[in-house]
Structure 1
Amino acid sequence: MRTQVAIVGAGPAGLLLSHLLWMEGIDSIVLENRSRDYVEKRVRAGVCEDPTVKLLREVGLAERLDVEGMPHRGIVLRFDGEDHRIALTDLTGRTITVYGQQEIVKDLIAARLKADAQIHFEVSDVELHDVTGDKPRVTYMDSDGVAHEIQADVIAGCDGFHGISRPSVPDSDLTVYDHVYPFAWLGVLVEAPPANDELIYANHENGFALHSMRTPEVTRLYLQVDPADSLDRWSDARIWDELQTRFAIDGFALHEGPILERLLSPMRSFVVEPMRYGRLFLAGDSAHIVPPTGAKGMNLAVHDVLVLSRALKALLSEGNSDLVDSYSDTCLRRVWRAEQFSYFMTTMLHRDNHADAFQHRLRLAQLRYTASSSAAATSLAENYVGLPFP
């Protein structure tokens, strides 16, 4: 097979890149090792920044989002037994929208298949070849065990943190920045309506908790736990008891219901530089990870592929390499801003059991200042709703 851009990974990054390239008349082939059913049901991020929503509208992908998405004009910081609202829209003029990553993936797959795009699910043994030359190749086995080769001008590695794209780059050609936090998140998806119209970030002496949602009927809840913990130690009763404790203030109670899904996730920040190796370009989680506290992961991937689509258009349609040469630096400026904001939110809101009493008091002081200072609240709001895309 021959294509201009071979894309590894059918998550939001790979699919959106394929769509953006298609709009510019550039063909692509997308490879995915999971089934279509799996990727369309894989519950991940749920907060879309303002520039992400605007981009999806501009490229014709927001029909369902505008009907089913839930715009939010603020978030709540809960500490000292009280709620402290950060009025995102009043402070910035913009909003966030809660719309699940899996819903964006469904919209993208439908749009790409309507345009007769090539998306190959359930592939295996994917390998990248000759990425430092001008004719890179991808080999793989399809779902029937038949071997294939794709000849391309460019390869886009959009296959996530555990994918094969980043390991295809020699270690000597990458600088890795890795920070592991001393806590993890236990996340549950619950069949019950949200107990609040906006996200609640709760700071409690037992640890952090987050109240979020996916639909008006489904709530997403998180508990800070020890990284060495295991799911089998958390019964439904224990989960609900701890959630009710950490969110407790006068007049508030969570809506309990059947737990549909539970997941234990370590917290880390991870960045590789550069995000390009020859004709291989890394995007999204294959190049960087942020802790979910700042709601930045999927939004960073969207920015990456927007920048990459413009760069590849200039390279493949006009023979101009300036934008591909600056791709990594352009993306990394936003990545590091998001890393700093996510680190700030994570360290401010979580309780580090390895920290001393002095550090705990500093975190509380930061929370009180953020909630009481219009300047501090505006800085949080500006970063949370998302800095404008270029």
Structure 2
Amino acid sequence: MHDLKRSKKKMYKKQMPAMINSYNEESTVEIEDLERGCKNKTNINNSNNACNCAGNQSTNQNNNNNQKHDCHHDHHDHHEHHDYDEFECVCECKKSNNHCEPCEAESDTCVANPCAGDQCCNGITPTYSSKNASPVAIEAQRIYDAIKFQMFTDATGPNGETLYFDYDVVEIEGRIPVTGLANVTVDEVCMNYSSIEVVPGIPSIEDFQVMEVEDNAPCDTVFEYAVCPEKNATCCARNRGQSVSYKERGLTVIVNNLVLELRCHCGCTKIRAFAYPAVQQMGGQLCRVDSVEFRYNTLAARMCIPSNGRSLTLRQNYQTSLTVDCISKAYISAQDCCGCDCDDCFELTIPSGIDLICCIEETVSILISDQVVVLAVSQGINPRVVDTFANVCSFPSCGQ
């Protein structure tokens, strides 16, 4: 739009000297050419279709002098005192209501915004076949065994205390009965929190030594331990692994700054409320807390580890998800607020409370460092080229 306006400014500057020099001879033709966007240039007293552009609403005063000032003011009488840069576009009159249509840009060239498309993508899918593959020796961590735990538990206070919720009604769209209790249906519960912290329990594998590896994992939900098992001669002679007992005690998940948003309705009235986690103090008064905890029972399962006594890595990877159990009944009632008609004067009550649940999925893997031979494509992966400088720079395969 700005390029279009600058173009029209230049057009007026270019045409203006020619119009001024030839005004005495061809004033009528030049002005009508410049003001071709306005039609029916008649006196405002003689026609209802007179063109009066925005910014120059002419009045009935001096009609004989103003009848030529339809769109661009008095170009011929005051050209020495006007800055013609202000006339950015030619107005077109609309006869129905005697005003000018806004200027519109016309372009045949349009491009799509690259960031407005789908945000999903596909990873690299290499082409593989036995014809273009060859054996390659590598050293890597190999997965020897893996198990997965799936469980859930209810929320508690910071020290394992019973958890309650303190409710605040923040928005009501419609009418609520001013007396008695009104039934409320909770439609949605939205989770708002600042962080979810996974505190892993203390893992153990039989009587073997398990040592935590410091600064080993890039994510807050991944934990690794070094394990030094003993050799099992019987299983090793049979070229098999040994079965051991894996246990984890004390797994805890902490959710910080949790607030639940309850989206409800009472008939046709929409209600929105906040539920803050709290614990009960002496006298039954609720005290809000900054975090809630989810404490899990001991996890136990059998796992297979190498029987030759070689060291291994124990990896724990966690995935968490917050949800709530069924909220069957809720009520809203009006409170005495000294005649104030506001949302704070209503109280939301959920007799059975809210059962906040954290579902957790833990994958426990036994990793061993091994030298293995794999089938691989010698050319490797072909990454997508982002820059086109390869047309100028050459990168030989031999490094010369």
What band does the TM-score fall into relative to the shorter chain?
under 0.3
Question: TM-score, normalized by length of structure 1?
Answer: 0.17
Tell me which protein shows more helix as a share of its residues: 1
